[in-house]
Structure 1
Amino acid sequence: MTTFVDRVELHVAAGSGGHGCASVHREKFKPLGGPDGGNGGRGGDVLLVVDQSITTLLDYHHKPHRSATNGKPGEGGNRSGKDGQDLILPVPDGTVVLDKAGNVLADLVGHGTSYVAAEGGRGGLGNAALASARRKAPGFALLGVPGGLQEIVLELKTVADVALVGYPSAGKSSLISVLSAAKPKIADYPFTTLVPNLGVVTAGETVYTIADVPGLIPGASQGKGLGLEFLRHVERCSVLVHVLDTATLESERDPVTDLDIIEEELKQYGGLGNRPRIVVLNKIDVPDGKDLAEMVRPDLEARGYRVFEVSAVAHMGLKELSFALAEMVGQARAAKPKEEATRIVIRPKAVDDTGFTVVQEEDGLFRVRGEKPERWVRQTDFNNDEAVGYLADRLNRLGVEASLMKAGARSGDGVAIGPEENAVVFDWEPTVMAGAEMLGRRGEDHRLEAPRPAAQRRRDKEAERDEAEKEYNDFKPF
């Protein structure tokens, strides 16, 4: 049964925003008391949060689909819908978040570090929030925005100060068990260790963590054995310890050759060339092991390695090794730059950034892309003519209509708002004040006002038409 997982694919869905409510206040003797539709609630986010009590991604291996809750719709009486509840997913310290293409989205190190994997959708505005001096009684409300959908990959890279690397059965598990309180599985056959083991070591005033990485063999960096699966756990370690078996029963192996092979695999994996290294000659309690250690030690020291002869079984040489590692860890910590206070980076938009783009495609279709236009389209109820007219006016005020004219769009040309797989497509009719001729002054309920004389209404309508024609002629590219 699988008990340790350090890489999973996770499918997360944030909650969708609740729809706004279109409602009119009614009470005795006041049948039309004005709009009172409430706003929809916001959808819940999906957050990844580092929890140091979590050591594996096993839970997400079994349940890779996670969803936050949706926001509730608004109600009459100016009652807003309840926000959706955020979904908090605890992950181990050292979790890296990647997209499907392998790009790093976040590196989560440190208890409480969080990342929003999927953002909840906005709640739609009710007609009370849409009311204005010009639009006193909107007969529509905005829809909630769907929550974000993401497919991400979680990779765990163990956060430790020291990594023990070496051939299978070199004694790494035995060594970590006597240096710390860790209780890894120990046996006399290769690949006993199938998961990285972590232990905490105290040497004087220094406390550091040590990781036992599963055994490496030639070709590990290309996927042989277990090396490729667990080499990533070496990346964050400050010190590398080569554990060499001086009592191996394999005639074609010796400590120096083992060291060269493991160093080559680390080189092929990359990014570990600047880590300080020491060599541990293990199993010197065996007579042949002691003799071999004394034989190869001068050669290793000539290469610049600090060499320690130990026996995990007989507890020989462990104190010297422990304090030497504490010294190296202290030096590595001192060399790291001090963490600066969190900085807020402000990136103002360019003065000519409209927030959207208009591109004519090969088939003649004009495609509009941008965060605001695409969100507004998703919030529009296309079964309500007034809501469609409101969308058209918003797009016009943003400058979409003027940009279409500059791009060469003509009456009847196809226009798509949004990506190819999820776009709203329509035949464009330039009106400058979009929908004005069809709906007049949308959202004004004249039953709430004193009636205007017929002559005044006629003059107002003519003035609006003249103003719309003038604005259209100013933008007309021909």
Structure 2
Amino acid sequence: MTTFVDRVELHVAAGNGGHGCASVHREKFKPLGGPDGGNGGRGGDVTLVVDQSVTTLLEYHHSPHRKATNGKPGEGGNRSGKDGMDLVLPVPDGTVILDRKGNVLADLVGEGTTYVAAQGGRGGLGNAALASARRKAPGFALLGEPGQAQDIVLELKTVADVALVGYPSAGKSSLISVLSAARPKIADYPFTTLVPNLGVVTAGATVYTIADVPGLIPGASQGKGLGLEFLRHVERCSVLVHVLDTATLESERDPLSDLDAIEAELKEYGGLDDRPRVVVLNKVDIPDGQDLADIIRPELESRGYRIFEVSAISRLGLKELSFALADIVSQARAAKPKEEATRIVIRPKAVDDAGFTVTLEEDGIYRVRGEKPERWVRQTDFNNDEAVGYLADRLNRLGVEDQLMKAGARAGDGVAIGSEEDAVVFDWEPSMSAGAEMLGRRGEDHRFEEPRPAAQRRRDRDAERDEASQEYEGFNPFG
């Protein structure tokens, strides 16, 4: 059974926003109570947060689909819908979040670090919130926005100061077991260690972590053995420790060729050239091991390596090794730039930024893209003419019609708002300045206005009827 997972594909979906409510207050002796529809609740977010008690991505390997709850719709009586609950997913320290194409979205290091993987949809406004001096009785409400959904990849990169690398059965697991309280599986056959082991070492006043990276053999960077699965765990280390077996029984191997092979794989993997190297000659308690260590030591010193002869069984040389690694780790920590206080970066929009774009595509369709127009389309109930007219007003005020004219659009040309997957397409008719107003001034109820003389009311009503009848022909609700 799988007990350690360091890479999973996760499908996350935030909650949808609740729809706004279109309601009119009804109460005895109050016939003109006015609109009282409440707003919809916000959909819940999906958030990843670093939790030190979590050490593997196993939970998401078994349950890769995660969804937050939806917001509740608004109700009459100015009652807003309840917000959806956020879904918080704990991940190990050192988790990297990527999209399906391999682009890094976030690198979560440090307890409590968070990343919003999917944002909940906004709740729709009720007709009470849409009421204004001009639109006193809206007969519509806005729909809630759908929550974001995406597929992400989680990769765990062990957060360790020291990484032990070397051939299988070189003694890495034995070494980490005597340097720390970690108790990995130890046996006399290759690939005993199938997952990275992590231990904590205390050397004087310095406390550091040490990781045993398994499965490195020639070809590891191309996927041979277990190397490709676990090479990522050496990326965050401050120092690389080559553990060389001086008592190997394989005639075709020797410590120097083992070192060259592992270094070639690390170079092929990339990004580790700046890490200091230390060479540990292990198993020198065996007579043949000590003899081989004496033979190869001058060659290693000529290459500039710092060398330690140790024995995990007799614990020879372990104290010197642990304090030497502590000194290197301390120097690496001191060299790192100090973390600055959190800064708020303000990026104002350009003066000429209209908030949307209009482009002519190869098929002759004019496509409108932008956060506001796309959001307004998602929030519009196209079964309600008044809501469509309200959308037309908003698009016109934003300047969409002016930009379409500048782009060369003519009457009857196709216009699409949004991406290809969920676009709203219509034939453009540049004949109106305000769609909702031309359809009888939708959303207005003259009973809410101040009393006017009967003759004045008749003249205003006749003027509005004549104006609407003249411009209604060819009306396009998208303005």
TM over 0.5: same fold?
yes
Secondary structure of the corresponding residue to residue 312 of structure 1: coil
Task: Establish whether residue 280 from structure 1 lines up as the match of residue 280 from structure 2.
Answer: yes
Please identify, of 356-365 and 286-295, the stretch whose mean Cα deviation from structure 2 is larger.
356-365
Alignment-derived partner of residue 166 in structure 1: 166
Query: Which secondary structure does the structure 2 equivalent of 1:367 belong to?
Result: strand
- 1:118 maps to a residue whose letter is A
What residue ranges of structure 2 are gaps of 5+ in the alignment?
473-479
Shift of 1:422: 1.1
Equivalent residue number for residue 195 of structure 1? 195
> For residue 459 of structure 2, what is the aligned residue in structure 1?
455
Measure how far apart 1:301 and its partner are: 1.0
Gaps of 5+ in 1: 470-478
Q: Which amino acid aligns with 2:81?
A: G
Contact 1:437/1:465 (<8 A) preserved = no
Question: Which residue of the partner structure matches residue 473 of structure 1?
Answer: none
Residue in 2 that maps onto 1:241: 241
Deviation per CA, 1:20-55: give whole Å up to 9, x if none.
Answer: 000001100112300000000000000000001101
The 5 Å alignment of 1:86-235 reads 86-235=86-235
| Cα distance in 2 for residues equivalent to 1:401 and 1:122 | 26
> What is the CA–CA distance in structure 2 between the aligned matches of 1:31 and 1:98, rounded to whole Å?
58
Q: Give, in angstroms, the shift of residue 361 of structure 1.
A: 1.5
- What do residues 67-86 of structure 1 show as CA deviations (whole Å, max 9, x unaligned)? 00000000001000000000
Name the TM-score, length of structure 2 as normaliser. Answer: 0.95
Residue of structure 2 equivalent to 1:323: 323
Secondary structure in 1 aligned to 2:329?
A: helix
Q: Which whole-Å CA distance do the structure 2 matches of 1:332 and 1:448 have between them? A: 73
Report the alpha carbon displacement of residue 434 of structure 1 after superposing the two structures with TM.
Answer: 3.1
Counterpart Cα distance in 1 of 2:79 and 2:322: 65
Shift of 1:465: 9.3
Measure how far apart 1:459 and its partner are: 4.0
Amino acid in the other structure paired with 1:427: D
SS of match in other structure, 1:232: helix
Alignment of 1:16-27 (within 5 A): 16-27=16-27
Shift, 1:433, TM fit: 2.3
Q: 2:56 aligns to what?
A: 56
Whether the 8 Å CA contact 1:163–1:212 is kept in 2: the answer is yes
2:40/2:73 contact within 8 Å kept:
yes
Residues in 2 aligned to 1:464 and 1:350: alpha-carbon distance in whole angstroms: 38
C-alpha contact (below 8 Å) 2:392/2:436 kept by paired residues: no
Separation in 1, partners of 2:260, 2:306: 16
Letter in 2 for 1:90: P
Deviations 1:134-189 (A, max 9, x none): 00010000000000011100000000000000000000000000000001010000
8 A contact 1:169–1:215 mirrored in 2: no
Deviation at 1:453, TM superposition (A): 2.1
- Find the counterpart in structure 1 of residue 76 from structure 2: 76
Give the AA of the match of 1:69: T
Are 1:48 and 1:114, in contact at CA under 8 Å, matched by a contact in 2? Answer: yes
Cα displacement (A) at 1:455: 1.3
CA deviation map 1:105-134 (0-9, x unaligned): 000000000000000000000000000000
Higher mean C-alpha displacement, 361-370 vs 73-82: 361-370
Q: Map 1:322-361 onto structure 2 (within 5 A).
A: 322-361=322-361
**RMSD of Structure 2 on Structure 1 (CA):** 1.6
Could you tell me how far 1:350 is from its partner in structure 2?
0.8
**Cross-structure match for 1:445:** 445
- Determine the C-alpha separation between the residues in 2 that align with 1:421 and 1:365: 15
Note the C-alpha offset of 1:102.
Answer: 0.5
8 A Cα contact 2:217 2:227, kept in partner: yes
Tell me how far 1:342 sits from its aligned partner.
1.1
Instruction: Give the whole-Å Cα distance in 2 for the aligned partners of 1:57 and 1:22.
Output: 45
* Cα displacement (A) at 1:445: 1.2
1:423 aligns with 2:423: yes
Native 8 Å contact 2:48 2:88 kept in 1: yes
Partner of 1:28: 28
Local SS of the residue matching 1:453 = helix
Conservation of the 8 A alpha-carbon contact between 1:396 and 1:432: no
Q: State the secondary structure of the residue aligned to 1:292.
A: helix
3-state secondary structure, aligned to 2:421: helix
Contact 2:215–2:230 under 8 Å retained in 1: no
The residue number in structure 2 matching 1:476 is none
Distance 1:465 1:294 in 2: 103
Identity, % of aligned positions: 84
Distance 1:293 1:227 in 2: 26
Once residues 128 and 207 of structure 2 are traced to their aligned partners in structure 1, the CA distance between those partners, rounded to angstroms, is 61
Matched, 1:265 2:265: yes
Aligned residues of 2:121 and 2:145 also touching (Cα < 8 A): yes
The 2-side partners of 1:442 and 1:411 are apart by 25
Moved more, 429-438 or 268-277: 429-438
